[in-house]
Amino acid sequence: MNDEIIMTEKDYLRLNNLLKGINIEDYENLEIELERAKIVLDNELPAHVVTMNSTLEYTELKSGKTQEITIVYPQDSDPETHKVSILAPLASALIGLSVGQEINWMFPSGETKRLKVTSVKYQPEASGDYEL
């Protein structure tokens, strides 16, 4: 199974900058994801990769539950519209994954869940929305 994640240079720089202003111990898993990411330019990014401001569908494999979310910066989070902050464990787990990829992720409750990206319904880079 391919465990590589891909991230745009813009997202990588913005997320590293975001982490500088907070207690990194609370978001160590996101920092680890950033360190292992393959960094590419916006126009080199495949359309099936989850980026910041992407709307995606994922499945929690144990329960079979599927949900649609948009991964956003903290100031744009809104649970009612399924906009999940990148600082939330769920978004940190899914960022950089491609459609079909799975990841085991430990949540603050101590429970490990296996998540699978089933589709990317909107990706800013694929739509030419490079300013998001």
Q: Where are the domains of the chain?
A: 6-122
CA dihedral (89, 93, 94, 95) in degrees, to 10, reads 90
Give the 3-state secondary structure of residue 108: coil
Q: What is the pLDDT along the chain (132 residues), one digit of tens a residue?
A: 467 899 999 999 999 999 987 876 778 888 889 999 999 998 899 999 999 999 999 999 999 999 999 999 999 999 999 999 999 999 999 999 999 999 998 888 889 999 999 999 999 988 887 665
Q: How far apart are CA 108 and CA 89, in angstroms?
A: 8
The pTM score is 0.91
Q: How would you classify the pairing of strands 38-40 and 83-85?
A: unpaired
- Please provide the CATH number assigned to the domain covering 6-122: 3.10.50.30
Strand 6-8 and strand 55-60: pairing? unpaired
CB of 94 closer than 8 Å to CB of 102: no
